[in-house]
Structure 1
Amino acid sequence: MRAIEIGLRFLVQQGVKYVFGIPAGSINAIYDALLDIPELKPIVAKHENSSGYMAGAYTRITGLPSICVASSGPGATNLVTPAANAWKQKLPVIFITGSVPSTKLGKGGAQELYAEPIFASITKMSRTIMDANQLPDILAEAYCTAISGVPGPVHLAIPIDIQMTDIGDRELPSLPEIQQPVIDQIAVNKAANRIKAAGRRGAILLGNGAKAASDSIVPFAQTIGWKVATTPRGKGAFPEDHPLSLGVYGLSANIQASEYLNSNEYDVLLIMGSSLGELATSNWEPRLVAGKELIHIDYDQNELGKCYETLYPVHGEIKLVIAELSAQLAEKGQEASQIWNAYEEGSAEVAAASETAGDSWNTLSAIRQLSATAPKNARFFLDIGEFMTYSIQNLLIESGQEFDIDINFGGMGSGIGGSLGAQLAEPSRPTICVTGDGCFFMHGMEVLTAKEYQLPILFVVINNARLGMVYHGHMLQYKRCLDDFSQDRVSIAGVARSLGLPYAEVSSLADLQKNKVQEWLSHGGPFVVEVIVDGNEIPPMGERVKFLQGATY
């Protein structure tokens, strides 16, 4: 049996289901082996970059590692950006790149590249396999490395002859015992005592890492009666139609979140699953922590105390920590029903995102209308651009809905690829990808991939005929910009029509009604909706501009 087939069969044994990528000569042995391994399904993308975002989204949502493959040379370098994104998001994606035959290395083979050092700084492990007999065991080691401790991506470069070498019949590699997550009990005890002592004078800030524990966070927040905000990537970790919700803090923050978290109305800030970077903290806003004591919970110990002094760092899986905190607070006599009933009596109205869109037609009203008409179990997958800032503020994520955005390292178009991975991860959940014309021009051909695999994704393309975030950023910072940031309007609906895809053009609120959204989602495959706007209003991105101006240094 070929070395690569044994390695792939080991991954199937661990529950790996998908191989994302694009076939090419130096990795075609992998695709040939898939004919004999029906449990591993190939998802052939239109660009390696997109395939990496598909793999990352699938892995983040399911918790299952995925495989992403690319050829040697340019195929490998096209995976660097999504690999870096997986590194930032701590996703156990297995990146495999091909290579020229091992006997020809260094002799100027076509598309030859020494990829190992390129991926070394953005993966937990990057290695070139030069012995076919070791390939299965090294692939098993890479898998274990990816899922162990703090998860993260790994990379293997495998010359084509090493992949194809017959190494005979052998047993699949064995999986070593994976260490079970533990929590720092002493730190949990200290945090519980501080939460109790704070009474109602506390607040919660949730990052992306808290999403896996969202079901337990709601009753916990109700128990202690603290208001809850999320970071942009943490959006969706707490239902925004909940009376305790403040909405989003950080980039494109909701006003009530900024006003409350930057105030002196509370003494303790409980942070869960956030690295507290620029976009999560409004450029490390000093008022966020001024006069407050911080409790920071994260499964990655390196995040604790990295950006702010933290008196109560708690290292451990957030869900386990919350369960222990809840048990201790209950033991100390804090009854959820009493505190929650007291809070409801004086609770404020839900976030501004729930306001009606009004009669005006622009990006803001379109996003609000989309929020109001989306199914109650929808997943919004956001791309990167001007529309993103409106969406962070105005997509009201209710209980039962999900929100995803690769904001820390996602490039333009990442949301398009990511939405495919999301739909594969949860086939029964409606997926709505909100993207822009600039993103679509970069990676819009992945709608064809969605068509080929019959993925029922609603692609909502905000078309303002310009690179909106770049345009407005320049106008805010420099008071002028190049004409090149805009272009003659291209019909996205026309592109969809030429690709044989169902489509709709939307240019008013009347075109964006609930019955139409339901119809668009019921086609059984991808549907492209072009939202035509002028885009002249200034998006809520002032904090980002201040950072680029160096105002926070």
Structure 2
Amino acid sequence: MKIANGVMEYLEQNQVEYIFGMSAGTVSALYDAMNDVSIKPIITKNEAGAAYMAAKYASISGKMGVCIAAGGVGTNNMVNGIGDAMRSKVPVLFITGYVHRWQIGKGAIQELNTEQILKPITKYSKTVLDENCVLSTLKEAMEIALTPPMGPVHVSIPIDIQISELIESMPEQVAIPQVMFDDESIDKAIEVINGEKDGIIMVGRGCRGLSEQVKALSEKLQWPIITTPEGKGVVPTDFYLNLGNYGFSGTDSSTDYVEDGPSTCILVLGSSLGESATRNYNPVLVKDKKVIHVDWDKKELGKVFKTDVEVYHDLEKVIPELIKGVNTKSRSFERPLINGPYVQNHTGLSIRLLLEKITEILPKNTYYVSDIGEYMNFLFKYLPIRSGGDFDISLNYGAMGSGVAGVVGAHLAEPNKPMAIFTGDGSFFMNGMEILTAKEYKMPIIFIVINNAMLGYVEHGHKFLYGRTVEGFKQQRISISSMMNAIGIKSIEVSTMEQLENIGDFVENLDGPCVIELVTDGSEPAPVADRFKALGETKKN
């Protein structure tokens, strides 16, 4: 057996279902070996897309994502996706090829020391130069990736090693090392919570998969929930204690309650308290409140705000203990109106009104993914997530094009849920050709492209900060629907609210991706003032 075949067998033994990437000379043996295992290769249009897909797959499924690409050029194409996985703390194994060992240092085609390039953005990066250590290195890397806080790892394998005979014995399956969490701090948190009448529960990305537990805790305490942008969707919008998104583009109710409500305690669950979640680290979030922060990444605790109780633990274990230990609060919370009424202060199609309507048209359990752009602020504030549905965005790294490519991985993680991706024309032109990957594999993904013929965030941000803009931020309008029709992808153009009613029939019985192009003029003000103000600050007091 060749080492390349051994690699595939070991991945198969560890329940790897998909490998994302593109083949090339230095990984050709690995791709050939995929023919002999049950793992399904997902061949993408660009290695960048493959990296985003693997990261999104890992994020949503909770399983190990795997991506294989050429050393040198293929690896560098993946750098943004690897950075995205690192900031999102998801387990992805990136395997890259390398030139023959005897060629190293001679300037062979595509030779580049990718081990050193990727060390700062992975938990582990190593080039294997001993053919007797390939599988053991993979095992070590995968265990590191899966150890909380999770993250990406990288193993580079020279092509001559891949085609060598396997001598090394097959290692045992990957075993996730036990982390020594802090059990005593849970009791301290319960004691503080029981001493406070009114509080807020802040729900972050780390609560994904724990919706019912979070709701049960909120109901027992009668403490309302605010979600971070990355925590949106954990709790459905119609849950009576959910005030919606807080942070940049927060709902009116969440912002008002944080600033003027009666809370004397804030319980932060699974959030790094990043810039977007805290409105640029604004201390109003924790002012005059006891702060309890729960996370399985010790580095996040106390990093942004002074905390009264730091709980270094797994939320899956902590929340049931909190539910069991906290006292039932007698008061009954009455939720205010989530947002103020719509005011028409623009021309053309309203993104706000469209978002408030579209979830009534698409299936109730639709999984919504967002790319990065000005439109995401409308999503944070106005997109309702119904019971059974969900929402995902990779905001901490914030790479344009991450969602429009990553949605392929999201679909494979949740194949039985309708999948819709919101993207802008700018992000679509970056990585949107991965829609052809969705077409190739017959994935019924709904691509909702908000086309305002400009880089909206950039255009409006420059005007806010500098009072002027740059020629080229606004661009000639391209009919994305016509482009999609030309490549055999079903598409529809929507420029009025009346046309929105056609979407329901349009997305029925899909046997591949489709595009809904929302044509806007970009004049509707997005709820982004906090973000623009943050960019203009010279220092933080």
TM-score in same-fold range (> 0.5): yes
Structure 1 pair 90/126, CA: closer, same or farther in 2 (3 Å)? same
Aligned to 1:545: 532
Aligned to 1:30: 30
- Which amino acid letter does the alignment assign opposite residue 458 of structure 2? V
TM-fit CA distance, 1:354: 9.9
Distance across 2 between alignment mates of 1:371 and 1:499:
28
SS at match of 2:247: coil
**1:6 lines up with 2:3 in the alignment:** no
1:240–1:351 Cα contact (<8 Å) kept: no
For residue 133 of structure 1, what is the aligned residue in structure 2?
132
Determine the C-alpha separation between the residues in 1 that align with 2:76 and 2:235.
37
Q: Which shows bigger deviation, 104-113 or 176-185?
A: 176-185
Q: Distance in 1 between matches of 2:138 and 2:525?
A: 49
1:362, distance to aligned residue in structure 2 (A): 2.4
* TM score, norm. by length of structure 2: 0.96
Alignment correspondent of 2:260: 263
After superposition, residues 423-462 of structure 1 pair within 5 angstroms as 423-462=411-450
SS in 2 for 1:119: helix
Q: How does 1:509-520 map to 2 (within 5 A)?
A: 509-513=497-501, 516-520=503-507
Runs of 4+ in 1 over 6 A off after TM superposition: 353-360
Measure, in 2, the Cα distance between the counterparts of 1:458 and 1:41.
Answer: 23
- 1:58: Cα distance to partner? 0.6
Equivalence for 1:53? 52
Question: Does the CA contact (< 8 Å) of 1:92 and 1:153 recur in 2?
Answer: yes
- Secondary structure (helix, strand or coil) at the match of 1:155 reads strand
User: 1:244-298 CA deviation, whole Å, 9 max, x = no partner?
Assistant: 1111111111111111112352110000000111111000112111111100000
The residue that corresponds to 1:19 in the other structure is: 19
Match of 1:302 among 289, 299, 305: 299
Which sits farther off after the overlay, 136-145 or 217-226?
Answer: 136-145
Aligned position for 2:400 = 412
- Counterpart in the other structure of 2:189: 191
Equivalence map 1:101-180=2 (5 Å): 101-168=100-167, 171-175=169-173, 177-180=175-178
Instruction: Give unmatched runs, 5+ long, in structure 1.
Output: none
SS at match of 1:121: helix
In the TM superposition, what whole-angstrom CA distance separates every residue of 1:79-135 from its partner, at most 9, and x where no partner exists? 111111111111110011111111101101111100011110111110001112211
Per the alignment, in what secondary structure is the counterpart of residue 269 of structure 1?
strand
**1:399-449: per-residue Cα shift (whole Å, max 9, x none)?**
211000011113111111111101111111000000011111111111110
Structure 2 distance, partners of 1:125, 1:134, is 15
Give the stretch that moved more between structures: 257-266 or 482-491: 257-266
CA distance in 2 between counterparts of 1:392 and 1:149 reads 28
Alignment of 1:483-522 (within 5 A): 483-513=471-501, 516-522=503-509
Alignment match, 2:510: 523
- Mapped to 2, the partners of 1:367 and 1:50 lie a distance apart of 27
Aligned to 2:520: 533
Partner residue in 2 for 1:87: 86
| Change beyond 3 A, Cα 1:21–1:404 | same
Letter in 2 for 1:125: Y
Q: Aligned with 2:237: secondary structure? A: coil
CA–CA separation in structure 1 for the residues paired with 2:201 and 2:131: 51
Q: Which residue of 1 aligns with 2:62?
A: 63
User: Could you tell me how far apart the structure 2 residues matched to 1:526 and 1:316 are?
Assistant: 40
Match of 1:43, SS? strand
Letter in 1 for 2:100: P
* Closer, same or farther: CA 521–386 of 1 in aligned 2, 3 Å: farther
Stretches of structure 2 lacking an aligned partner (at least 5 in a row): none
Contact 2:349 2:520 in 1 (8 A): yes
Cα distance, 1:521–1:30 mapped onto 2, change above 3 Å: farther
What SS does structure 1 have at the residue aligned with 2:60? helix
Contact in 2 for aligned 1:132/1:165 (Cα 8 Å): yes
Give RMSD over aligned pairs: 1.9
State how many pairs are aligned. 539
Question: Any idea what SS the aligned residue of 1:454 has?
Answer: coil
Identify the range of structure 1 (457-466 vs 239-248) with the bigger mean alpha-carbon deviation: 239-248
Please give the alpha-carbon distance, in whole angstroms, between the structure 2 residues aligned to 1:289 and 1:94: 38
Partners in 2 of 1:121 and 1:250 — Cα distance?
A: 28
Change (3 A) 1:362 1:397: same
Secondary structure of 1:94 counterpart: strand
Find the residue that maps to 2:229 and give its secondary structure: coil
Cα drift, residue 497 of structure 1 = 0.6
Q: What is the alpha-carbon distance in structure 1 between the residues aligned to residue 237 and residue 141 of structure 2? A: 39
User: By how many angstroms is 1:4 displaced?
Assistant: 2.2
Alignment of 1:280-299 (within 5 A): 280-299=277-296
What does 1:327-366 correspond to in 2, within 5 Å?
A: 327-329=324-326, 334-335=327-328, 339=330, 342-343=331-332, 347-349=334-336, 351-352=338-339, 361-366=349-354
Contact kept? 1:183, 1:320, Cα under 8 Å: no
Rounded to whole Å, the distance in 2 between the matches of 1:506 and 1:64 is: 37
**Residue in structure 1 matching 2:389, options 384, 401, 404:** 401
For the residues of structure 2 that align with 1:6 and 1:459, how far apart are their CA atoms?
A: 38
